[in-house]
Structure 1
């Protein structure tokens, strides 16, 4: 795990969060946007993660939580420039989008999740990508959900980030 960058816009959402974490990796960088990087990650999501999402959707539907779908639901041919704030991007909704940071969210009556991909260009054609997740819970069911999700999240995020620098 790494520190949430202070110059990232997601850092302003951390106060009062029930859960917040940040994982980072270094990637080859050719001035791609943060949304481009997120879309690459979502489109190349390992099958085991999509299988876990399917299992999650089946389990939580019995508790009244919504079916988020799958990371594979990201439109394959859609360019990052075609997305606008409020558009659905796979399992998330686009909340804020700049070249170096994209913030996606999912909100319901139980919890609010915001995910940021923040890019810090480095010398030599690389950049550091920070994937930050911030969760605010609204009730007991949100806390119970996070009890089960948080440990899995801490495995999934680093595993998917590793694929970006391959």
Structure 2
């Protein structure tokens, strides 16, 4: 049985808390996980490698549409370099659609900056109610009108996608 996934505040332990001022959008989804000893980076890699097909389909649609207005084609969420171990990822490396910004055993912060927005995502290991847990947080800062327009369909879809992807961590 899958552990419940619930929306919550960005954990106090997350470095993303320093990015909340002026954010247009932010959220956090959390679930408990079996004790495992994996780093936050390993959890990120494990979950994006198992991205649901419908999420990859939506990413391909997104890439086609935003290309018409000159935004980046990000590829698919799970576009990872084959054979690269979690311990080999360093700040500046690409990990799927994001660049690694900060990495420790307990938290990895990834992000992307384009002319319409700056997004940062945290995968943070926690203890919740005496159990191991993981929180996935997102903070988005907009760059002008194009960012606002972009977020109209993205914000509601994000609230479906993150729990669906996070669910893959416990299966």
1:157 paired to 2:162? yes
Residue equivalent to 1:102: 108
- Aligned residue for 2:47, secondary structure, equals helix
* Alignment coverage as a number of residue pairs: 165
Query: 5 Å matches for 1:104-123?
Result: 104-121=110-127
| 1:21-66 deviation per Cα after TM superposition (whole angstroms, max 9, x unaligned) | 0000111122210000000011011111111100000011001111
How far off its partner does 1:77 sit? 1.8
Residue equivalent to 1:36: 42
Residue equivalent to 2:3: none
Q: Which runs of 4+ in 1 moved over 4 A?
A: none
Paired residue for 2:143, among 129, 138, 146? 138
Q: Distance in 2 between matches of 1:131 and 1:36?
A: 13
Do the aligned partners of 2:99 and 2:111 also contact (CA within 8 Å) in 1?
Answer: yes
Q: Mark the runs of 5 or more structure 1 residues left unpaired by the alignment.
A: none
Normalised TM-score (structure 1): 0.95
- Aligned residue for 2:78, secondary structure, equals helix
- Root-mean-square deviation (CA, aligned residues, Å) is 1.3
Q: Distance in 2 between matches of 1:61 and 1:18?
A: 23
